[in-house]
Structure 1
Protein backbone atom coordinates (compact mmCIF):
# COMPACT_ATOMS: atom_id res chain seq x y z
CA UNK A 1 0.00 0.00 0.00
CA UNK A 2 1.01 3.65 0.17
CA UNK A 3 3.43 4.70 2.85
CA UNK A 4 3.36 8.18 4.33
CA UNK A 5 6.48 9.00 2.36
CA UNK A 6 4.87 7.97 -0.94
CA UNK A 7 1.74 9.98 -0.17
CA UNK A 8 3.90 13.01 0.65
CA UNK A 9 5.86 12.61 -2.59
CA UNK A 10 2.61 12.48 -4.60
CA UNK A 11 1.19 15.53 -2.81
CA UNK A 12 4.50 17.39 -3.27
CA UNK A 13 4.46 16.66 -7.00
CA UNK A 14 0.83 17.73 -7.41
CA UNK A 15 1.38 20.85 -5.30
CA UNK A 16 4.37 21.79 -7.43
CA UNK A 17 2.49 21.28 -10.68
CA UNK A 18 -0.54 23.23 -9.46
CA UNK A 19 1.71 26.09 -8.30
CA UNK A 20 3.50 26.28 -11.65
CA UNK A 21 0.20 26.21 -13.55
CA UNK A 22 -1.21 28.91 -11.28
CA UNK A 23 1.85 31.18 -11.52
CA UNK A 24 2.87 30.79 -15.12
CA UNK A 25 -0.39 30.08 -16.92
CA UNK A 26 -3.47 31.08 -14.91
CA UNK A 27 -2.16 34.37 -13.50
CA UNK A 28 -0.88 35.76 -16.83
CA UNK A 29 -4.18 34.80 -18.45
CA UNK A 30 -6.00 36.61 -15.66
CA UNK A 31 -4.06 39.84 -15.99
CA UNK A 32 -3.16 39.94 -19.68
CA UNK A 33 -6.18 38.10 -21.07
CA UNK A 34 -8.59 39.54 -18.50
CA UNK A 35 -10.02 36.09 -17.80
CA UNK A 36 -9.95 35.12 -14.09
CA UNK A 37 -11.59 31.76 -14.76
CA UNK A 38 -8.34 29.74 -14.63
CA UNK A 39 -7.20 31.27 -11.34
CA UNK A 40 -10.56 30.39 -9.82
CA UNK A 41 -10.31 26.88 -11.25
CA UNK A 42 -6.76 26.20 -10.01
CA UNK A 43 -6.76 28.27 -6.82
CA UNK A 44 -8.77 26.00 -4.54
CA UNK A 45 -7.04 22.72 -5.48
CA UNK A 46 -3.65 24.38 -5.12
CA UNK A 47 -4.62 25.75 -1.70
CA UNK A 48 -5.74 22.33 -0.50
CA UNK A 49 -2.58 20.69 -1.85
CA UNK A 50 -0.46 23.38 -0.18
CA UNK A 51 -2.10 22.74 3.19
CA UNK A 52 -1.75 18.97 2.74
CA UNK A 53 1.94 19.44 1.85
CA UNK A 54 2.59 21.46 5.02
CA UNK A 55 0.75 19.03 7.30
CA UNK A 56 2.35 15.95 5.76
CA UNK A 57 5.82 17.55 5.90
CA UNK A 58 5.43 18.21 9.62
CA UNK A 59 4.16 14.68 10.30
CA UNK A 60 6.86 13.08 8.15
CA UNK A 61 9.53 15.30 9.67
CA UNK A 62 8.67 14.13 13.16
CA UNK A 63 8.56 10.49 12.04
CA UNK A 64 11.90 10.67 10.23
CA UNK A 65 13.43 12.91 12.91
CA UNK A 66 14.45 15.66 10.53
CA UNK A 67 16.49 18.48 11.98
CA UNK A 68 14.59 21.74 12.36
CA UNK A 69 16.71 23.32 9.63
CA UNK A 70 15.81 20.52 7.19
CA UNK A 71 12.12 20.76 8.00
CA UNK A 72 12.15 24.54 7.59
CA UNK A 73 13.87 24.19 4.20
CA UNK A 74 11.29 21.62 3.05
CA UNK A 75 8.44 23.86 4.22
CA UNK A 76 10.03 26.92 2.58
CA UNK A 77 10.40 25.02 -0.71
CA UNK A 78 6.61 24.92 -1.05
CA UNK A 79 6.51 28.67 -1.78
CA UNK A 80 9.29 28.63 -4.38
CA UNK A 81 8.41 27.59 -7.94
CA UNK A 82 9.91 24.14 -8.63
CA UNK A 83 10.90 23.89 -4.95
CA UNK A 84 8.89 20.76 -4.26
CA UNK A 85 10.59 18.99 -7.17
CA UNK A 86 13.99 19.81 -5.68
CA UNK A 87 12.88 18.53 -2.27
CA UNK A 88 11.77 15.27 -3.84
CA UNK A 89 15.09 14.79 -5.61
CA UNK A 90 17.40 16.00 -2.83
CA UNK A 91 15.65 14.75 0.31
CA UNK A 92 12.86 12.28 -0.33
CA UNK A 93 14.53 9.90 -2.80
CA UNK A 94 17.34 9.37 -0.30
CA UNK A 95 14.84 8.14 2.29
CA UNK A 96 13.07 5.59 0.05
Structure 2
Protein backbone atom coordinates (compact mmCIF):
# COMPACT_ATOMS: atom_id res chain seq x y z
CA UNK A 1 0.00 0.00 0.00
CA UNK A 2 1.19 3.50 -0.80
CA UNK A 3 2.09 5.76 2.17
CA UNK A 4 -0.44 8.43 1.14
CA UNK A 5 -3.22 5.81 1.05
CA UNK A 6 -2.30 4.63 4.54
CA UNK A 7 -2.29 8.23 5.84
CA UNK A 8 -5.71 8.78 4.24
CA UNK A 9 -7.14 5.67 5.91
CA UNK A 10 -5.67 6.68 9.28
CA UNK A 11 -7.21 10.15 8.85
CA UNK A 12 -10.61 8.59 8.13
CA UNK A 13 -10.41 6.41 11.25
CA UNK A 14 -9.27 9.40 13.32
CA UNK A 15 -12.24 11.45 12.05
CA UNK A 16 -14.60 8.56 12.82
CA UNK A 17 -13.43 8.45 16.44
CA UNK A 18 -13.03 12.22 16.90
CA UNK A 19 -15.89 12.79 19.33
CA UNK A 20 -17.79 10.87 22.00
CA UNK A 21 -20.93 10.91 19.83
CA UNK A 22 -19.09 9.45 16.85
CA UNK A 23 -17.59 6.75 19.07
CA UNK A 24 -21.07 6.02 20.44
CA UNK A 25 -22.46 5.69 16.95
CA UNK A 26 -19.68 3.29 15.95
CA UNK A 27 -20.05 1.25 19.15
CA UNK A 28 -23.83 1.12 18.58
CA UNK A 29 -23.36 -0.39 15.14
CA UNK A 30 -20.91 -2.98 16.46
CA UNK A 31 -23.17 -3.84 19.40
CA UNK A 32 -26.23 -4.10 17.16
CA UNK A 33 -24.46 -6.32 14.63
CA UNK A 34 -23.13 -8.67 17.30
CA UNK A 35 -26.58 -8.94 18.93
CA UNK A 36 -28.18 -9.80 15.60
CA UNK A 37 -25.43 -12.33 14.83
CA UNK A 38 -25.93 -13.88 18.25
CA UNK A 39 -29.72 -14.11 17.95
CA UNK A 40 -30.08 -14.95 14.26
CA UNK A 41 -27.00 -17.10 13.69
CA UNK A 42 -25.42 -18.46 16.87
CA UNK A 43 -28.56 -19.34 18.84
CA UNK A 44 -30.24 -21.18 15.92
CA UNK A 45 -26.98 -23.02 15.24
CA UNK A 46 -26.89 -24.12 18.86
CA UNK A 47 -30.52 -25.23 19.10
CA UNK A 48 -31.18 -26.60 15.62
CA UNK A 49 -27.77 -27.89 14.57
CA UNK A 50 -26.35 -28.79 17.97
CA UNK A 51 -23.38 -26.48 17.40
CA UNK A 52 -22.92 -25.10 20.93
CA UNK A 53 -19.58 -23.50 20.07
CA UNK A 54 -21.43 -20.79 18.13
CA UNK A 55 -22.89 -19.25 21.27
CA UNK A 56 -19.69 -19.88 23.24
CA UNK A 57 -17.87 -17.71 20.71
CA UNK A 58 -20.52 -15.12 19.85
CA UNK A 59 -21.81 -14.64 23.40
CA UNK A 60 -18.58 -13.17 24.81
CA UNK A 61 -18.01 -11.15 21.62
CA UNK A 62 -21.43 -9.56 22.05
CA UNK A 63 -20.86 -9.13 25.78
CA UNK A 64 -17.68 -7.17 25.12
CA UNK A 65 -19.43 -5.08 22.45
CA UNK A 66 -22.27 -4.35 24.90
CA UNK A 67 -19.83 -3.21 27.59
CA UNK A 68 -18.00 -0.98 25.11
CA UNK A 69 -21.35 0.51 24.04
CA UNK A 70 -22.36 1.27 27.63
CA UNK A 71 -18.95 2.85 28.35
CA UNK A 72 -19.17 5.03 25.22
CA UNK A 73 -22.76 5.94 26.14
CA UNK A 74 -21.61 7.09 29.58
CA UNK A 75 -18.80 9.07 27.93
CA UNK A 76 -21.21 10.74 25.49
CA UNK A 77 -23.87 11.51 28.10
CA UNK A 78 -21.32 12.92 30.54
CA UNK A 79 -20.28 15.39 27.83
CA UNK A 80 -23.65 17.13 28.22
CA UNK A 81 -26.49 17.93 25.88
CA UNK A 82 -28.50 14.83 26.72
CA UNK A 83 -31.85 14.72 28.47
CA UNK A 84 -32.53 11.91 30.92
CA UNK A 85 -35.08 10.48 28.47
CA UNK A 86 -32.53 10.40 25.64
CA UNK A 87 -29.93 8.69 27.83
CA UNK A 88 -32.39 6.04 29.03
CA UNK A 89 -33.62 5.44 25.49
CA UNK A 90 -30.05 4.98 24.24
CA UNK A 91 -29.34 2.52 27.05
CA UNK A 92 -32.52 0.55 26.46
CA UNK A 93 -31.89 0.46 22.71
CA UNK A 94 -28.95 -1.87 23.33
CA UNK A 95 -31.25 -4.44 24.90
CA UNK A 96 -33.45 -5.00 21.84
CA UNK A 97 -32.57 -6.38 18.42
CA UNK A 98 -32.38 -3.52 15.91
CA UNK A 99 -32.63 -1.04 18.79
CA UNK A 100 -29.09 0.19 18.25
CA UNK A 101 -29.88 0.84 14.58
CA UNK A 102 -33.02 2.78 15.45
CA UNK A 103 -31.07 4.81 17.99
CA UNK A 104 -28.37 5.49 15.37
CA UNK A 105 -30.52 8.10 13.65
CA UNK A 106 -30.94 10.05 16.88
CA UNK A 107 -27.20 9.96 17.53
CA UNK A 108 -26.52 11.06 13.93
CA UNK A 109 -28.79 14.09 14.42
CA UNK A 110 -26.97 14.94 17.68
CA UNK A 111 -23.65 14.76 15.79
CA UNK A 112 -24.95 17.17 13.15
CA UNK A 113 -26.23 19.54 15.83
CA UNK A 114 -22.93 19.38 17.71
CA UNK A 115 -20.91 20.07 14.55
CA UNK A 116 -23.17 23.02 13.67
CA UNK A 117 -22.57 24.56 17.10
CA UNK A 118 -18.81 24.01 16.88
CA UNK A 119 -18.46 25.77 13.51
TM-score (norm 1): 0.91
Count of aligned pairs:
95
Query: Which consecutive segments of 4 or more residues in structure 1 shift more than 6 A?
Result: none
Structure 1, unmatched stretches of 5+, are none
Determine which of 21, 30, 34 is the counterpart of 1:18: 34
Q: Hey, what does 1:94 align to over in structure 2?
A: 109
Determine which of 62, 81, 93 is the counterpart of 1:65: 81
Structure with bigger gyration radius: 2
TM-score (norm 2): 0.75
In the TM superposition, 1:1-96 aligns within 5 A as 1=14, 2-3=17-18, 4-89=20-105, 91-96=106-111
Provide the aligned C-alpha RMSD in A: 1.1
C-alpha separation between the residues in 2 aligned to 1:21 and 1:64? 32
Residues 37-82 of structure 1, C-alpha deviation per residue, up to 9 Å, x if partnerless?
1111111111011011111112201213311111011000001000
Structure 2, unmatched stretches of 5+, are 1-13, 112-119
